[in-house]
Amino acid sequence: DGKKLVPITVKEISVGNTTLPVKLTFTDSEGQEAMVLLSLKTRSETGENRIFDRMFSFENPRLRYPTISDDIWDRITKGTLVKGMTKEECRLSIGMPEEVKQIPTYSGLREQWMYELNEYLYFEDGLLIDFRIL
């Protein structure tokens, strides 16, 4: 259902297709099963994002972000946002923006992150103050 950065258990590894030769079937901690096709090559070899190292980790990614609260980490795993999140938390939750703009305001600078489908995030002092996600 689109969760990310959560523990999984690999159930089966089998043959994929000619482009993405590995089919990985797995379950998450709630028992939901999913499947993904991927490559075992490195990103530099293929330019591809669907490689094992980009999609999975043998380490708990949560350990790299000890200051993120449980509530925010839950939002990150579900790909959702809440006002007050940091830029790093937003990046973990919905990914890197396609474009970033600095907008001068009377109180300083506002940063606007733009994504596909006219989705926007607005930050002041490094914190999310408003957003429009479809």
Q: What is the pLDDT of residues 21-77, one digit of tens each?
A: 999 999 988 899 999 999 887 665 655 677 888 788 889 989 999 999 999 999 999
- Segment 11-23 shows an average pLDDT of 92
Instruction: Please give the order of strands across the beta sheet that includes 119-124.
Output: 99-105, 108-115, 119-124, 127-132
Q: What is the pLDDT, as a whole number, of residue 88?
A: 96
Quote the CA–CA distance of 99 and 121 in Å, as a whole number: 11
Asked whether the predicted pLDDT for residue 97 surpasses 60, the reply is yes
Quote the CA–CA distance of 62 and 119 in Å, as a whole number: 26
- Segment 82-91 shows an average pLDDT of 97
Q: What is the pLDDT, as a whole number, of residue 45?
A: 60
Q: What is the pLDDT, as a whole number, of residue 29?
A: 85
Give me the chain's average pLDDT, please. 90
This prediction's pTM: 0.78
What is the percent of the chain where pLDDT is above 90? Answer: 65
